[in-house]
Structure 1
Amino acid sequence: MTLKITRRSIPAHVVLRIAAGQTWTELLTWMRRHESPRWVFRGQSQKWPLKPAAGRGVKSYSTARELQLFDEFRRLASPFVDRSAVSTSWDWLFVAQHHGLPTRLLDWTTNPLVAAYFACQPPARRKRDGVLIAVETSSVGVLDTAAMEAGPFALSKPRFVYPTAVAARITSQRGLFSVHPQPEKNWILKKGLERFEIPAAHKELILGYLAGVGVDAAMIMADIDGLASNLCWRYRGGMAIQ
């Protein structure tokens, strides 16, 4: 007598693990087709437009008001930063972005596994599919030293910029930014952009696969907050602590 195995006879958690494993395999294949540094990556916990925080959630955007916000941050944050490491307007903009101030920057990384980690985070509301975005750098352009001398508020078109090492997390995440002269507008790329979606139901298992290759909160944040976040995730998930 031959035992016939059907989908109905397999427990739901096993079906989920098989499906997530297939997503993980497809993700790795997708990554191999988008090798850095030709491509850079952004992970989003749900699908939303490519729009910097300075242009989101405000009644009416103006460059003057953005500059006012930035100047006030520089004035008040000065006692809390290492002035030997933060001197130019670019340095201050990187620090402001790092600490959550609305700026004209969007976060990217040269490491697709880091982008996958952020894509697998839970969104603010309801379960949503995560998305990895890959952009070919040549389709946008990277600022050189000469272009940067004009400052972050002198650009006419979006460009990528590699930051100075003003924060450990930027370095650990292999971070870079895109700079948006019109942050109130969605950034729409007609070429050089590709996406990979991660189903909401697969996120937690994908996070486990990422942790298995060393990409977890402790690596992403590179500080005591990241360490605590990683241990909390392991504790709540019933995983080994050590």
Structure 2
Amino acid sequence: MRDLRPASWAELIDTLQQDSWNPELRRFRSPYIFRGQGTPAPLTTSLQRLSAHPRDIERHLVRAFRKYATGPLCAQDQHWSWLTLGQHHGLPMRLLDWSYSPLVALHFATSNERQYGEDGVVWMLNTARTNARLPPALQALLRREGSNVFTADMLAALGHAGDPDGLPFDAETGWLDDYEREKGEPFLLLLEPPSIDQRIVQQSALFALLSNPETAFGEWLSRPPEAARRVVVARELKWEIRDRLDQVGVNERTLFPDLGGLSLWLRRYYQQRPGPGPDPAPPPTPEEERNQQR
């Protein structure tokens, strides 16, 4: 896995846009998706952080969430839409958040000022190379759809038609285990969620999930050559990156388009930047220089 450490804003943007020219389309279409983190912590899902046995607890979380969620929360009553809804509202899931936008990833790498004392990281994931490790039937489905990612409808159609044991979770995810046994190793799926909320739309969001919820993302990504890159966001650059993102409108106000997001942006935008001491005095104006000479 390649680790890249840009030394300036310009170099950082160039790094995140590497390989974006598509000669077949004659357009700039990056093969990468992006994930920003304020620290270089390992890639782990919220489900893995919750339990040492994520597979065992996942079924109970989803079943209880579907039982107790009230109101017209999920227009599509299918397992993968419920997983998307749960992830969106903080339920521990096997899903990991990514974005089509490198600037959105930079936002999440610099959104927490308490992490400005350490480096951040933006992960770049090459979708073509990860899809090349899918089971052949799933690769064929993507080719038929002309897509690099799955939708909730596509994944729901892959589930079993019925479940004699009355376990909807097994009915809708058991095929993952079947394909994994055939392939002999875990594989990674990219899921484009339904637009259940403007945050998902504004953040150009999509999810990644592994067929085995116990597999570590970092370990899996280190296997296929050139499947992933880590771009270090140097702590010395974080304040500059943050200001430049605000200038181009990539901030909480636009990515979380509600009153909560607006309040987060205003609090951070008007926060005074800390320093080791008082700011140096600005240079004197010509009139002040003349007065000093007198």
TM-score, normalised by the number of residues in structure 2: 0.67
What amino acid maps onto 1:28 in structure 2? Answer: I
**Closer/same/farther in 2, CA of residues 229 and 31 from structure 1, 3 Å limit:** same
Give the match for residue 154 of structure 1: 175
Contact 1:216–1:230 (8 Å) recurs in 2: yes
Aligned to 1:89: 79
Gaps of 5+ in 1: 1-20
Structure 2 residue 232 is matched with structure 1 residue 231: no
**SS state at 1:154 partner:** helix
- Measured against aligned partners, the alpha-carbon deviations of 1:16-68 in whole angstroms (never above 9, x if no partner) come to xxxxx95211111112215345110000111122221111142x314232110
Shift of 1:108: 0.3
Contact 2:50 2:92 in 1 (8 A): no
Cα contact 1:133–1:196 (8 A) shared by 2: yes
Task: Give the match for residue 163 of structure 1.
Answer: 193
Identical columns (%): 29
Q: Which residue of 2 aligns with 1:143?
A: 150
Cα RMSD after superposing both structures: 2.3
The 8 Å contact of residues 134 and 193 in structure 1, kept in 2 or not, is answered as yes
The aligned residue for residue 110 of structure 1 is: 100
- Residue in structure 2 matched with residue 211 of structure 1 by the alignment: 246
Work out which of the residue numbers 30, 42, 45 in structure 2 matches 1:49: 42
Distance in 1 between residues matched to 2:100 and 2:120, nearest whole Å = 18
**Residue 150 of structure 2 aligns to which amino acid in structure 1?**
L
Give the counterpart letter for 1:45 in structure 2.
G
> 2:10 matched to 1:25?
yes
Q: Secondary structure at the match of 1:26?
A: helix
Query: What is residue 236 of structure 2 aligned with on the other side?
Result: 201
Aligned to 2:214: 184
**Of 170-179 and 191-200, the range deviating more from structure 2:** 191-200
- Look up the match of 1:75: 67
Q: Deviations over 1:143-169 (max 9, x none)?
A: 365444224563232211111111211
Whole-Å separation in 2 of the counterparts to 1:225 and 1:152: 35
After TM superposition, the structure 1 stretch with the greater mean CA deviation from structure 2, 201-210 or 131-140, is 201-210
Seen in structure 2, the aligned counterparts of structure 1 residues 66 and 177 have a Cα distance that, compared at 3 Å, is same
Letter in 2 for 1:154: W
Question: 1:126, CA displacement in angstroms?
Answer: 8.0
> Closer, same or farther in 2 for the Cα pair 1:152/1:38, shift >3 Å?
farther
Secondary structure class of the residue paired with 2:231: strand
The amino acid that maps onto 1:208 is D
* 3-state SS of paired residue (1:56): helix
Instruction: Answer with 1 or 2: which has the greater Rg.
Output: 2
